[in-house]
Structure 1
Amino acid sequence: MTNKIPRQNIPSIPSYNYQPTPYIGISKQQVIELRKQYINPVVATYYKQPIMIVEGSMQYVFDETGKRYLDAFAGIATINVGHSHPHVVKAVQEQSAKLQHLTTLYLHPTIAEYSKMLVDKMPDDLSMVYLVNSGSEANDLAMLMARVYTENFDIITLRNGYHGMGGNTMGLTSQSTWKYSPPHNFGIHHALNADVYRGPWNNNENNVADKYADEIKNIIEYATCGKIAGFIAESIQGMGGAIVYPDGYLRKVSDYVHQAKGLLIIDEVQTGFCRTGKGFWGFELQDVKPDIVTLAKGIGNGLPLAAVVTTPEIAQAFTQKIHFNTFAGNPVSCAAGKAVLETIERENLQQNCSLVGDYLLEGLDNLQEKYECIGDVRGCGLMIGVDLVKNRETKEANSELASQIHEL
């Protein structure tokens, strides 16, 4: 085995019958200068030499010179049906031409039709939808719903998880990269992550799921009053490196959470809408039924749309006060949401994700056999992680190599 990554013989991407529109806008250098002058410096770009993307078509994007790139990133797991998919574009154009904005204080068919389509993809009890605009907003709302319904406050989440960067959701997020210093963790407990590669127990252990789930039980017993508002986790951790929990883990956690009168909240922001291939939702892989599900990213194929889906009982408890969102259920976003669901069905994208994902995982497994620097390959469908290490025994992360590969 070797640690060297070969640069020679890199294959070209397949031909594609599409001609991008000639770009006539401001130059790349002008864009860079304008960003430096007017955009908050925290808004960073990838690559030492940033790419300027001006057009997209399905799985490809084009820069200002017309050069084509394969978008393996999919806009951070957002462009689930392809850039500028004709069916989504048509739906958005037609709705935008008729009515661009309407609050939920008035009736409109699109939000009603879309909510039913979304619920039809969920387990029976998850039949109430609250539409919002982003994953952070959805997770913030789910926390509030759980606290209102249970009349408890404490929420348990997992180390290494990512649930957004709002004032409250930053408390849920458990990676220092994404956290600022102002207080935001009050009432939130971070449990040992169920990571079978870097954690204390791996899949060769007996009852590995139970051992990780017992960490939740211990927090309930020793860090709370014995009752909690809820537990929130991604069904597969996304920003944390595609961490896949041991089989049965979430089901065992669900038992402990419900015994403590809490709700099971599953964050499907990245894993939803068939990205795992094996299920429409990631939680299906763990054979568990959540009390609340949060959705975003692929839900609108890039348009601002997100959702919190829950049971009628939990939804009813939330009616104690007035809760309102100006842009929730925007007609254009809902039209995009409908078109996404229709496209997934028409083009059999769940099966496609499973087939392509299995092919990719097999290829990565083969690379792992050749290169010592690949410590672990994991994932499901197109939620895939490759763990690069300096040493397979110590599992010390090789961030420098990861940066080099990212620049290839």
Structure 2
Amino acid sequence: MKRLIIRQFSSSSSSSRNFKRVFSRSSVAATADENAAAAVLSKMPRFDYTPPPYDGPRTEEILRKRIEFLSPSLFHFYKKPLNIVDGKKQYLFDEDGRRYLDAFGGIATVCCGHCHPDVIEAIINQTKRLQHSTVVYLNNAIADFAEALASKLPGESQGVVFFTNSGTEANELAMMIARLYTDCHDIVSLRNAYHGNAAGTMGATAQCNWKFNVVQTGVHHALNPDQYRGVFGSDGEKYAKDVEEIIDFGTSGRVAGFISEAIQGVGGILELAPGYLPCVYKTIRKAGGLCIADEVQAGFARTGSHFWGFEAHGVVPDIVTMAKGIGNGMPLGAVVTTPEIAQVLTSRCYFNTFGGNPVSTAAGHAVLKVLEKEKLQENALIVGSYLKDQLKALQGKHEIIGDVRGRGMMLGVELVTDRLEKTPAKTEILRVMELMKDMGVLVGKGGFYGNVFRITPPLCFSKEDSDFFVDVIDIALSKL
């Protein structure tokens, strides 16, 4: 039975009719659950691509080397980790050629789809001519991309770009810029936030799961405007009062800045309560601070309704940070701010050897073109809204679903064992993830308690993919 099911989603071109005929031979021994799972597998959307045969190291050998030679801090999903060897659009393939629907997108990173031909072509063409030179020399790739990227920022944010290699680096730099520009050290961030794992960004991160016992100074963590678990529900203005009190009672009355995501990614796909950011931005600026929007996960059309997450809240930041979707998987991040604010970096030598690498920036420029050409922001809105409605309907069927939230292709499903008490279903979500993987769907998890599905697929995700995803999670939840 298990072998027959695996064979179905190993071949991307297998027809559901053929599968059902093979499956019926073992129907006598099949359980009701197995029949249900097989029916779902037969609905995996057809996909006209077959990966080349893989003849590299197998899972066991890779895992052995990983344990022996890589840091023990690295972790993996699933009891038997997947060896992913191929990817195309919204699908991934393991060492046996089994196809999986990728609903995680490399942690909200793959926006155009795996191995998009336009992005790959840009990378190859640039690599053939020049792989690296550093920014002490002129190169058109970094200049052209900076121009295109700056044009995507609204209002006063549209300005100059400093390229980095990651979101952590971008946030670290943004906080330093705010401190230099205001000549003040205090930063306000939100509880439950995640902004990176370097010295400064770990201070701004506000979850003990991601913080080591090292010196972290000058950051105040405000009450999180959490619409699901927060004390004020969806009343953003009430949460914003806490920022005023932090400034009045925890600082000199002046601050360097405020940093937040519009939708907390690692925090469990939590969209900040309406009205919160406008109030807080006003308070921060009154105290002399700069407003930093962390768009590492919510940016680059992922929310669908807007290109940037902060736009849904009607605010214009002073500094915007980004990574992940900016390069569709290439190591690339950026800080965008006004020329006036950026001027503070000229008082000393500030340099990044690989920031603005011609290959990475060529890829980033290609990503912007693909997003526009293929109307992926529009698709994120249409398909993401469709998927969210389906998940909301599923919430009425499964008591374990406590909340469905987010927008576009950045959705969260929080599992609880008791809806009234909102008790986190920490063990149950692991079981569901295993079952979903066995049926051909990969999804992420997050939240402080690790009980939230993070649904952040490539933006080329289709309604057919959404139907399949919902069928799979429905069956998996039914097995609990």
TM-score by length of 1: 0.96
Q: Which has the larger radius of gyration?
A: 2
- Matched residue, 1:105: 136
Q: Distance in 2 between matches of 1:7 and 1:130?
A: 53
Q: Is the 8 A contact 1:373 1:390 kept in 2?
A: yes
Corresponding position of 1:164: 196
1:372-392 Cα offsets, whole Å, 9 max, x none, are 111111111011111111111
Distance in structure 2 (CA, Å) of the matches to 1:403 and 1:170: 27
Deviation at 1:45, TM superposition (A): 1.1
Distance 2:282 2:263 in 1: 19
Q: 1:55 to 1:319 in 2, by over 3 A?
A: same
Correspondence 1:241-280 to 2 at 5 A: 241-280=268-307
Indicate whether 1:34 and 2:65 are aligned.
yes
2:453 alignment counterpart:
none
> Which residue among 364, 374, 377 is the counterpart of 2:401?
374
Distance 2:388 2:47 in 1: 24
Count residues in correspondence.
398
User: Aligned-pair distance for 1:43?
Assistant: 1.0
- For residues 314-333 of structure 1, the aligned pairs below 5 Å read 314-333=341-360
Alignment of 1:177 onto 2:198:
no
1:144 aligned to 2:171? Answer: no
Per-residue deviation at 1:62?
0.6
1:340-394 Cα deviation digits (max 9, x unpaired):
0000000000000001110111011001111111111111101111111111111
Q: Deviations over 1:121-157 (max 9, x none)?
A: 0013221100000000000000100000000000000
Over aligned residues, Cα RMSD in angstroms?
1.0
For 1:202 and 1:188, the matched residues in 2 are separated by 25
Kindly provide the amino acid, as one letter, of the partner of residue 352 in structure 2.
Answer: N
Structure 2 match to 1:189: 220
Partner of 1:114: 145
Contact 2:59–2:81 (CA under 8 A) maintained in structure 1: no
CA distance in 1, matches of 2:114, 2:350: 34
CA deviations over 1:102-133 (Å, ceiling 9, x no partner): 11111101111000000110013221100000
Structure 1 gaps, min length 5: 1-5
Cα separation, 1, equivalents of 2:59 and 2:413: 32
Q: 1:78 maps to what in 2? A: 109
Aligned match for 2:261, one of 230, 234, 239? 234
Aligned counterparts of 1:7 and 1:395: Cα–Cα separation in 2:
31
Equivalent pair of 2:51/2:86 in contact (CA under 8 Å): yes
The corresponding residue for 2:370 is 343
1: distance between equivalents of 2:35 and 2:175? Answer: 50
1:255-281, CA deviations, whole angstroms, 9 ceiling, x for partnerless residues? 000000000001000000011010000
**Could you report, residue by residue, the CA deviation over 1:72-100 in whole angstroms, capped at 9, with x for unpaired residues?**
10000000001100000000000000000
Tell me by how many angstroms 1:7 deviates. 7.3
Residues 290 and 319, structure 2, Cα contact 8 Å, conserved in 1:
yes
CA shift, 1:8, in A, is 5.7
CA contact (8 A) 2:321 2:335 kept: yes
Q: How does 1:83-94 map to 2 (within 5 A)?
A: 83-94=114-125
The verdict on how the C-alpha distance between 1:240 and 1:7 changes in structure 2, with shifts beyond 3 A counting, is: farther
Query: What is the 5 A alignment of 1:280-291?
Result: 280-291=307-318
Q: 1:144 to 1:8 in 2, by over 3 A?
A: farther
Secondary structure class of the residue paired with 2:336: strand
One-letter amino acid of the counterpart of residue 164, structure 2: V
| Partner in structure 2 of residue 357 of structure 1 | 384
Displacement over 4 Å in runs of 4+:
none
Partner in structure 1 of residue 325 of structure 2: 298
Counterpart residue type for residue 39 of structure 1: L
Alignment match, 1:387: 414
What is the distance in 1 between the residues matched to 2:294 and 2:128? 33
Tell me the TM-score normalised to structure 2 length: 0.82
Q: CA deviation at 1:318?
A: 2.1
| C-alpha separation in 1, matches of 2:70 and 2:122 | 32
